[in-house]
Structure 1
Amino acid sequence: MKFSKILGIISISAAAVLLAACGQSATGKNGSAGTASQVATIQTSSEIQTLDPAQATDGDSLTAISSNNEGLYRLDKDSNPIPGIASKVVTPTDDGKKYVIPLRHDAKWANGDPVTAQDFVYAWRRVLTPSTKASYAYLLDGIQNAAAIRNGKADPSTLGVKAVDKYTLQIDMAVAVPYLRVLFAFPTFFPVNQQFVEKQNGKFGTSADTILANGPFVLKNWNGTGQSWHLLKNKTYWDAKTVKLTRLNFQVVKETATAYNLFTSGKLDDITLTGDYAQNNQNNKDAVARRGSSIRYLQVNTKTKGLANADVRNAISQVIDRKNLANKVLGDGSVPPLGMIPQGMYQDPVTKKDFAQEAGNLAPTNVKKGKALWNSVKEKVGGKLSIRLLTEDDDDAKAIAEFIQGQIENNLSGISVTLTTMPQKAADAAAQQGNFDLYLKNWGADYPDPTTFLDLFKGNSSFNWTNWHDSQYDTALAAAEGADAGDPVKRTKDLQAAHTRLMAEKPVIPLFQRYVLHLNNPKVKGIVYFPTSYHFDYKYTYVTK
């Protein structure tokens, strides 16, 4: 899952005007008879990219969709699947290869249509249809014929998913997928109403007017590019009695200083802190530390002069002082990574040890070794390199990029680094077209398994913009997700081999594992945070007096 931050610079007064326009915060607002008004306002770090479940990959879009819609399951506060549109969480049969899932009869779309098994069949076929160009289509690959459909080699009608009846969904797997039940709560697997989608004439998910809710809220006031929107309680939601908020406002605020001032003046109820603000508020009574299963890293364009050499990539990695980056530049609790797999995300099913820790430090800092490595290959690559470091245009990303620039230029004589900043959408487009040398990215786990990171860098991955293609790496992952999928010992060995290979080659350079420090209005309770998946659930949020 991509994390990004977009917004032009806004002054405190301008932000206050925007906030006033989209609603109120929880501070100082009372409802009838002295009860607390069930309204809150949240800072978000980027605009929504899309509201189409088949297209969304960024955190803000996924959170918005998960508020507006619901899949077979939701996640509880411990990230375990619980019933959503499904009436119960089922155990698969046939060695994990067959799911027969009953749906609740009282789930409805906001237009009154029932949510049916056919809505899931249509949605999943749509995700896999090549013309949809769904970046997350590979998440369905464990289902019979999914990979062939995704690659244009089979018709969508052959997908191993069928509506047994109006309220029973059957899923036939090609291989058992151990984390599939968690994916059933992920937006890519959400149902969509076929009749409604087709009426939008290709514009489904491009604005609040082109989506149809079946979840706890109905999203309003997003025109496709806007930087504020709000959620209203969905009165037709099957579990509406659980939803306490009547309105939840979202406002994009890019600058930490602006967000902090809006929070302290009661205009925002939840904000994210970075840099000095994070360091200075560690002991703030309103501070909430949230551990993330995300890695901030550099994608390396391996077609760039010099960067095609793995030794150069490793030299750059070695000279980056990750501890200083985490402690001094960020100061929000983030930690140096051990590789591209976050600590605390996945446990080896055999040894019960943390997967990342078991592999050891695959992304060490050793300036002396990095300098020596660079000097050993410097003449082979022409003696001097000019590198473009592409990043998003928010405070956090700029500070990290400037630190990386200094680390490279100060330690590797002959390499100069130029920074290029763009809004997230433009930066992604530039990277996809190869217009970068290094690209500062963040990826959060979509599900608690190493493949949520490792699959990104397969030779055929739509997220692999490095131009690095490695048969040894692809073969190890193919075994983990195919022949060895049912054998925990062999599968773990395959995954460790792929991870080790990726870190030896360094087409990606891990920088830190993200921990996020929030300031939260103590009157706003029940915000559920997940280290993986869609990260925030506001279904259970409420406001106290």
Structure 2
Amino acid sequence: MKKKSLSVLALTALSTLGLAACGNQNSAGTKNVVNMSEPSNLLTLDQSKLVDQVSDVTLNNSNQGLLVMTKDSKVVPGVAKSYQVSKDGKTYTFNLRHSKWSNGTPVTAKDFVYGFQRSVNPKTAAAYQYLFDDVHNAQSVDKGKMPVSSLGVKAEGDYKFVVHLDKPATYFKYVATMPPTYPQNENEVNKYGSGYATNSSKQLYNGAFQVKGWNGTNDNWKLVKNPYYWDKKNTKLSTMNFSVAKDPQTALDQYQSGNLDEMQLSGKSQVSSFKGNSEYHARKEAGTYYLEMNQKKVPALRNVNVRKALSLAINRKELTNNVLGNGSVPAKGFVASDMAKYKGKDFADDAYVSSAVQSNLDQAKKLFAKGMKEVGQSKLSLSLLSDDSSDAKSMTEFLQNELQKLPGLKVNDVNVPAKVATTRTEKGDFDVTVDAWIADFPDPVSFMSLMTTDNGYNHGGWSNQQYDNLMHQATNIDANNYNKRWSDMVEAQKLMLNDQAIVPLYQLVSPQVLKNRVQGVNYYPSGGNYDFRYVHTNN
């Protein structure tokens, strides 16, 4: 199953371009009005066509699905006041509350049926169609082999919505929190056609807020309290002002002058100046940076000792502390830490392989010499692909210096525009590439499925039959047995890391400052990240 992938530039943008000076200075300090920044422009309000994090956060707060994500990887009722799962794990029945759209009309089970069907319909070309792969007939519908009416969803009356899956998927409860599964009003979609959700007035909202003032291209918009939201009595904010700017110093000036309540810090100097301050928050994301090694193109990279040597040569603490300086931390493995837990144990700890993420140059040199002898080479030249942002260049320069400490290894940095880097990676036109992944939902499978042999995001071409078998067990045979499923994936990650399928680098942390007057922000590391429903100000 494919997941949401963010290129190095996209992730870097969260920390280096994600600074905004809020334009509504007159509202600074006003009770229950908050001025926020966003890393980039809002791209869409179409639940089915979401592709970026800004749109994800906006839709997560202006519309609502069956369930709602909260901290600690838990879900709570949204439009569905309750739900039941059949014993075989294949049928989810959601009992809907009597809620309304922002025009005062009821949100019904038919709106969910239509929303699911529209997201799977190949004519919609939804980027997140794969989220529905486990829904009965979804893959056939997506390929145009069956009509959308055959999708395994149905309305039983106005307030009961039923989903039939082809196989158990314990993580489907998380999928039910995501925008592509939100209800959609068919009349509204038909009314605007291709213009649907291309500006804030061409969309209906069933969440805590309505979007106002977005014309489709401008750099500022608002979230305004929705008077028709079912839980409006607990929504305290009247307005959230958002605006985008790309100058870090301007944003910092606005924040320090009190005209901005929030910003993401950029660079070591800004981060260091706020560390220890009560306004500073290191937002750990469910995102891992790692190196992919092209085993199809470079024969030497098929050798496990060569791959292990590359990993051992990199001092991750120096990378995170002295090169990045943004609060990011060395990776514990492939699956991000503090994302998924079972019986009190973090997956990253349960599936930890220390040798795959530690630094040991002496051992690296020995393994590299051994590996090169095994492949019959005395020298190796590798290109290291990444984007051309300033942060990416600093990182690849560091990696180049670290890796070239291995005798006989020459590394050439290739920094190109992000779109070019992404295209080359997808085509396999690289030796080693810097890649990154942020989980869609807090389950290890969001990472682990990437490394199966036939997955389109397995760009390095690593293949292991035992790994594939373990993931097949986790997603099929043991899908309805969480204990066995967890064990399958723990064993799979250990196998993958012991074979050094990839080189984990670091886990992304977005450094944020937030005024103490703003309380009740709910942050979680995957998906839409922020829930503003219960935010309030203390002035």
| Structure 2 counterpart of 1:309, one-letter code | R
Distance 2:362 2:49 in 1: 44
8 Å contact from structure 2 (residues 312, 361) kept in 1:
yes
Residue equivalent to 1:391:
387
Matched, 1:192 2:184: yes
Distance 1:459 1:126 in 2: 30
Residue equivalent to 1:370:
364
Distance 1:298 1:430 in 2: 14
Distance 1:221 1:316 in 2: 50
Residue equivalent to 1:444:
438
Residue equivalent to 1:121:
113
Distance 1:148 1:388 in 2: 39
Matched, 1:134 2:126: yes
The Cα of 1:105 is off from its aligned counterpart by 2.0
Specify the SS of the correspondent of 2:290.
strand
TM-score (norm. length: structure 1): 0.85
Decide which of 156, 168, 188 is 1:176's aligned counterpart. 168
Q: 1:362-405 CA deviation, whole Å, 9 max, x = no partner?
A: 43322223333333445756834241422363x54444333323
| Structure 2 counterpart of 1:63, one-letter code | V
1:261/1:405 Cα in 2 relative to 1: closer, same or farther (>3 Å)?
farther
| Structure 1 counterpart of 2:11, one-letter code | S
Distance 1:218 1:269 in 2: 20
Distance 2:453 2:71 in 1: 35
Residue equivalent to 1:406:
401
1:454/1:409 Cα in 2 relative to 1: closer, same or farther (>3 Å)?
same
Gaps of 5+ in 1: 31-35
The Cα of 1:411 is off from its aligned counterpart by 4.2
8 Å contact from structure 1 (residues 128, 150) kept in 2:
yes
1:320/1:199 Cα in 2 relative to 1: closer, same or farther (>3 Å)?
farther
8 Å contact from structure 1 (residues 391, 398) kept in 2:
yes
The Cα of 1:442 is off from its aligned counterpart by 3.4
| Structure 2 counterpart of 1:4, one-letter code | L
The Cα of 1:536 is off from its aligned counterpart by 0.4
Decide which of 129, 136, 151 is 1:144's aligned counterpart. 136
Distance 2:213 2:133 in 1: 35
Specify the SS of the correspondent of 1:250.
strand
Residue equivalent to 2:286:
293
The Cα of 1:271 is off from its aligned counterpart by 1.7
RMSD: 3.3
Residue equivalent to 1:320:
314
Residue equivalent to 2:77:
83
Q: 1:336-357 CA deviation, whole Å, 9 max, x = no partner?
A: 22211122322345xx533221
Q: 1:473-525 CA deviation, whole Å, 9 max, x = no partner?
A: 33322221111112334322321233234334545322112333321111122
Q: 1:89-131 CA deviation, whole Å, 9 max, x = no partner?
A: 32323343322212122321x3444222122112222333344
Within 5 A, what are the aligned runs for 1:10-409? 19-20=22-23, 23-24=24-25, 27=28, 29-30=29-30, 36=31, 38-86=32-80, 88-108=81-101, 110-150=102-142, 152-224=144-216, 226-254=218-246, 256-273=248-265, 274-305=267-298, 308-311=301-304, 312-349=306-343, 352-361=344-353, 362-378=356-372, 380=376, 383-391=379-387, 393=389, 396-409=391-404
Distance 2:453 2:215 in 1: 36
Distance 2:303 2:241 in 1: 47
| Structure 1 counterpart of 2:398, one-letter code | F
Specify the SS of the correspondent of 1:89.
strand
The Cα of 1:26 is off from its aligned counterpart by 5.8
Specify the SS of the correspondent of 1:481.
helix
| Structure 2 counterpart of 1:192, one-letter code | Q
8 Å contact from structure 1 (residues 85, 107) kept in 2:
no
Distance 1:269 1:542 in 2: 12
1:370/1:252 Cα in 2 relative to 1: closer, same or farther (>3 Å)?
farther
8 Å contact from structure 2 (residues 378, 408) kept in 1:
no
Matched, 1:4 2:5: no
Specify the SS of the correspondent of 2:169.
coil
Distance 1:258 1:310 in 2: 49
Gaps of 5+ in 2: none
Distance 1:310 1:107 in 2: 59
Specify the SS of the correspondent of 2:320.
helix
| Structure 2 counterpart of 1:414, one-letter code | L
Q: 1:290-331 CA deviation, whole Å, 9 max, x = no partner?
A: 333322223444444457535444332221111222222344
Q: 1:254-273 CA deviation, whole Å, 9 max, x = no partner?
A: 45444333321223211223
The Cα of 1:63 is off from its aligned counterpart by 0.8
Distance 1:259 1:403 in 2: 29
Distance 2:430 2:137 in 1: 36
Aligned length: 526
Residue equivalent to 1:33:
none
TM-score (norm. length: structure 2): 0.86
Decide which of 470, 482, 485 is 2:476's aligned counterpart. 482
Decide which of 415, 418, 421 is 2:413's aligned counterpart. 418
8 Å contact from structure 1 (residues 300, 437) kept in 2:
yes
Matched, 1:497 2:491: yes
Distance 1:49 1:313 in 2: 39
8 Å contact from structure 1 (residues 340, 499) kept in 2:
yes
Q: Identity over aligned residues, as a percent? A: 32
Distance 2:52 2:286 in 1: 15
1:385/1:46 Cα in 2 relative to 1: closer, same or farther (>3 Å)?
farther
8 Å contact from structure 1 (residues 25, 40) kept in 2:
no
Specify the SS of the correspondent of 2:243.
strand
The Cα of 1:147 is off from its aligned counterpart by 4.0
8 Å contact from structure 2 (residues 523, 531) kept in 1:
yes
8 Å contact from structure 2 (residues 288, 331) kept in 1:
yes
Specify the SS of the correspondent of 1:229.
strand
Residue equivalent to 1:536:
530
Distance 1:405 1:418 in 2: 7
1:489/1:234 Cα in 2 relative to 1: closer, same or farther (>3 Å)?
closer
8 Å contact from structure 1 (residues 305, 385) kept in 2:
no
Specify the SS of the correspondent of 2:399.
helix
Distance 1:49 1:437 in 2: 33
8 Å contact from structure 2 (residues 351, 491) kept in 1:
no
1:298/1:262 Cα in 2 relative to 1: closer, same or farther (>3 Å)?
farther
